[in-house]
Amino acid sequence: MRLQVPVPTTRLAFAEMALDDLDDMAGLLGDPEVMKHYPRPRDRDEARAWIEWNQRLYRQEGFGLWRVTLRSTGEFVGDCGLTPQTIDGETDVEVGYHVRADLQGHGYATEAATACRDHARDQLGTRRLIAITHPHNTPSQHVAEKIGLGYERQATARSGQSVSVYATTL
């Protein structure tokens, strides 16, 4: 399976995560502001496991979450990409995104998620795309809506947490 990353956008570039990204990913996933809608921030070992999970997804699925950087400077922005997610016994491809707290509000999540949506449709042939958000995470819900996903239902995640599912047919 040949792995392709999404096409760069005007401002953003995508790359496979590597263990060399551990400092950036640990900072992102360990930030209480970035992770406020998760059960808790992740520690460094969990950030390493996050990278390794995505590396497995690249090999097994041909996609995962990618490292996102500014094209102009190479500065780390966050991660965005596609992961298989099972909700209520049904597995779909989810678009997910995390942006550094100090860079939120500049449209990076929407820009990256749009590129990943297009990649899912045009390169992977994905027919249905979802976004899973915490019911109170309105910024993430707005990103989902901006890229064409509509509210579908409330569901329960594997963790037992209530989630909002946004979806579209591509």
What's the token pair of residue 32?
Answer: 């209480």
- Write down the pTM of the prediction: 0.96
Count of structural domains within the chain: 1
Concatenated DSSP letters for 28-65?
A: HHT-TTTTTTSSS---HHHHHHHHHHHHHHHHHHS--E
What's the token pair of residue 57?
Answer: 């997804």
| Model confidence pLDDT, tens digit, residues 56-84 | 999 999 999 999 999 999 999 999 999 99
Q: Taking residues 156-170, report their average pLDDT.
A: 92
What's the token pair of residue 42?
Answer: 């992740």
In a domain, 2, yes or no: no
**How distant, in Å, are the alpha carbons of 143, 151, 161 from that of 105?**
11, 22, 26
In a domain, 143, yes or no: yes
**The CATH number of the domain where 48 resides is what?**
3.40.630.30
| Model confidence pLDDT, tens digit, residues 88-139 | 889 999 999 999 999 999 999 999 999 999 999 999 999 999 999 999 999 9
In a domain, 153, yes or no: yes
Q: Which residues face 151 on adjacent strands?
A: 166
Say how far apart CA 96 and CA 48 lie, in whole Å.
18
**pLDDT score for 63:** 97
3-state secondary structure of 140: helix
Q: Does the CA dihedral 138-126-116-61 come out positive or negative?
A: positive
In a domain, 1, yes or no: no
By residue range, what is the domain housing residue 110? 12-169
For residue 159, what pLDDT band results from cuts at 50, 70 and 90? confident
Do the Cβ atoms of 96 and 124 come closer than 8 Å?
no
